[in-house]
Structure 1
Amino acid sequence: MSISIRQLKSFIEIAATGSFIEAAENLHISQPALSLSIKKLEGVVGGTLFNRSRKGIQLTPEGKRFLPVARRLVSDWDSALDDLSRLFTKQVGRVSIAALPTLAAGFLPAVLADFKQQYPNLEISVHDLLASQIDDLVSEGRADIGLSVRPRNSEAMHFEPLIEDHFVAVCPIGHPLLCQKEVSWHDLLGYPIIDLDRMSSTRQAIERVLGDLKREMDLFCEVSQIGTVGRMVAAGLGVSALPSLSFLQISKEGLGWRPLISPRVPRQLGIITPTRSPLSAAAEAMLRKIREHVGLAKFESAPLLN
């Protein structure tokens, strides 16, 4: 038989008051119920904790040694419940988000500002990573929420579509392609290309288009940051194909864009969460805030989402 927290609190209250009657009143229980609780406690520990005499109620030597232990156990119990309550009420906790740089820079700041205002005591960490790295962090439980393209392992993670982006041709101001309302991939590939490295989801999408078209690009330079692509194109070193939302990250000075067609390539972005483990209360609150902001976001800097 185990000892209950109620029995410990009864024991502590009797020791403090020296009276079963007063202890019962303070605990808002009947005296017979209190006496039965202590009797069961003494049965579990194997001995008497109180001496009952005409002089009153006194702790036995064993009771005196057990009292600080009982107080510590009750204190730890109360602290544990308080900590759990603070987690559920979002007074404490931590949320970890892994996001594509496009979303980390262009979409998340407004979400986090709103979230922090509502839950000022919650800790937030943001990792701006490649899509494959986001998949790994979410599937391994190192990130609560991912904001990315559809994950490779659909069984281990749930994908909730939020935004559909499209690829655009990015050219320096004055480039001949900007004379057209739309640019075909065939026309774009006639110029030197500045592209992201092969690990990026953007590059992988472009490689799939090249495979379908049975074309190769004239790769002038391969870089790791979208901002670097923008600066190189603006400097006249080549052209590029980027998701429309990338314009939330880069300076548009010296750049022009046109929709890419033949084919028009959609790029679906959404929320990634693990399928095999539930989210914490803090992460659930963040998820609700993200969904709320997707409906409000205007993405003014993204040319195809106006």
Structure 2
Amino acid sequence: MNPTLRQLRAFVALARTGSFTLAAEYLHVTQAALSGLIKELEQTLGIRLVDRSTRKIALTDIGRELYPLFSKTIDDLDGALLDIANHTQLKKGVVRVAAPQLMSCTLLPEIIASYRRAHPDIQVRLVDCAVEQVTGRVLSGEVDLGIGPERDALAQIAATVLFEMPFAVVFPAGHALEQRTRLAWHDLAGYPLISLQGQFTERLLSDMHGALRDVQIDPANEVTFMTTALAMVAAGLGITVCLPYAQPLVRLHQLQMRQLHEPELTRRFFVYRRDNRSLSPAAESFIAFLHQFMLAHDWNVPVPQPRPNETAA
């Protein structure tokens, strides 16, 4: 006893309209085809569901008993299919993204706003956290994807390169470094460096010491967040290094940012997701948008043009 979906739809349409003509029009089939489906259903169940006359139809007692059950089955199925279609066509969905605190207050709001303009029916929920927590939140399933700097490979986490940016130095207006149009890492020696705690600084210092063995650059103060470092720089307590996407905060503090050369050290950022887990169409769409957005922007720090009579120190 296996009624087909077409048979159930035919019975529900007939019960709702009370007419073979109207039910056939609703289902876009001929009356003969509709009548055939009803007969097939009755034969499958082994019982009459509809009493027919020349003017009208009426459900039998068992037909009236089965109608609410079959109707709910069809409605639930149609609702599920519509929900799937809305997700697939990006008319519905939620994307949960974890990102470091600095990126969450500079780069991500602009990206999310741009994405929402293109897909207004998709909700993007941003989880700002410490950089060391990004992959953990992805692994736990708290978020669909995470964005963060390169980290040691983790089991069950897939990583795809999103962008690579050069390091830049940030200092107050009027600082001695402002007189130089091109800054090298060795130019930072002798100035108090405010750096971040954790792997970010550890990897940076390792890169610096590997490339600049004859230059000693040690942090004078280590803080947890770049927002703190920038505030300290604005207060005249030292300089710091960061990546170009921090420019909105640099401008907010009225600080200067210059790209660092010799060597041009960079940092790669990745999109992290759980390995072997399918993402929703909305999450896949947001990842694709992330890559397009980053490719469309130039993240090199502009080199200031010398003012008249200005010479490089």
| TM-score, normalised relative to structure 2 | 0.77
Check 1:68–1:219 CA distance in 2 against 1; reply closer, same or farther (3 A cut): same
Following the alignment from structure 1 to structure 2, what is the Cα–Cα distance between the partners of residues 169 and 53?
88
Following the alignment from structure 1 to structure 2, what is the Cα–Cα distance between the partners of residues 119 and 98?
20
Following the alignment from structure 2 to structure 1, what is the Cα–Cα distance between the partners of residues 271 and 11?
52
2:5 pairs with 1:5: yes
Specify the SS of the correspondent of 1:264. coil
Following the alignment from structure 1 to structure 2, what is the Cα–Cα distance between the partners of residues 253 and 58?
78
Q: CA shift at 1:5, angstroms?
A: 2.8
Specify the SS of the correspondent of 1:277. coil
The answer as to whether partners of 1:162 and 1:269 remain within 8 angstroms in 2 is: yes
Letter in 1 for 2:184: V
Following the alignment from structure 1 to structure 2, what is the Cα–Cα distance between the partners of residues 76 and 154?
41
Q: 2:203 aligns with which of 202, 205, 221?
A: 205
Following the alignment from structure 1 to structure 2, what is the Cα–Cα distance between the partners of residues 27 and 130?
56
The answer as to whether partners of 2:194 and 2:238 remain within 8 angstroms in 1 is: yes
The aligned residue for residue 183 of structure 2 is 182
Q: Deviations over 1:47-84 (max 9, x none)?
A: 33234568864322111111122222222222222222
What are the ranges of 5 or more consecutive residues in structure 2 without an aligned counterpart? 306-313
| TM-score, normalised relative to structure 1 | 0.79
What are the ranges of 5 or more consecutive residues in structure 1 without an aligned counterpart? none
Matches within 5 A, 1:224-239: 224-239=224-239
Specify the SS of the correspondent of 1:66. helix
The aligned residue for residue 94 of structure 1 is 94
The aligned residue for residue 287 of structure 1 is 287
Q: CA shift at 1:303, angstroms?
A: 4.7
The answer as to whether partners of 1:161 and 1:269 remain within 8 angstroms in 2 is: yes
The answer as to whether partners of 1:21 and 1:31 remain within 8 angstroms in 2 is: yes
Following the alignment from structure 1 to structure 2, what is the Cα–Cα distance between the partners of residues 293 and 45?
58
Check 1:304–1:286 CA distance in 2 against 1; reply closer, same or farther (3 A cut): farther
The aligned residue for residue 58 of structure 1 is 58
Letter in 1 for 2:132: S
Check 1:257–1:11 CA distance in 2 against 1; reply closer, same or farther (3 A cut): closer
Q: CA shift at 1:123, angstroms?
A: 1.2
Moved more, 249-258 or 131-140: 249-258
Q: CA shift at 1:151, angstroms?
A: 4.5
The answer as to whether partners of 1:42 and 1:49 remain within 8 angstroms in 2 is: yes
Matches within 5 A, 1:1-306: 1-16=1-16, 20=20, 23-24=23-24, 26-31=26-31, 33-52=33-52, 57-153=57-153, 156-178=156-178, 181-185=182-186, 188-198=188-198, 201-209=199-207, 212=210, 213=213, 218-251=218-251, 253=253, 255-261=255-261, 263-299=263-299, 302-303=301-302
Following the alignment from structure 1 to structure 2, what is the Cα–Cα distance between the partners of residues 248 and 257?
11
Moved more, 253-262 or 281-290: 253-262
Specify the SS of the correspondent of 1:161. strand
The answer as to whether partners of 2:107 and 2:246 remain within 8 angstroms in 1 is: no
Following the alignment from structure 1 to structure 2, what is the Cα–Cα distance between the partners of residues 184 and 21?
83
* Residues paired across the two proteins, number: 302
Q: CA shift at 1:275, angstroms?
A: 4.0
Check 1:68–1:214 CA distance in 2 against 1; reply closer, same or farther (3 A cut): farther
Following the alignment from structure 2 to structure 1, what is the Cα–Cα distance between the partners of residues 304 and 99?
20
Letter in 1 for 2:230: G
Check 1:250–1:224 CA distance in 2 against 1; reply closer, same or farther (3 A cut): farther
Following the alignment from structure 2 to structure 1, what is the Cα–Cα distance between the partners of residues 152 and 197?
19
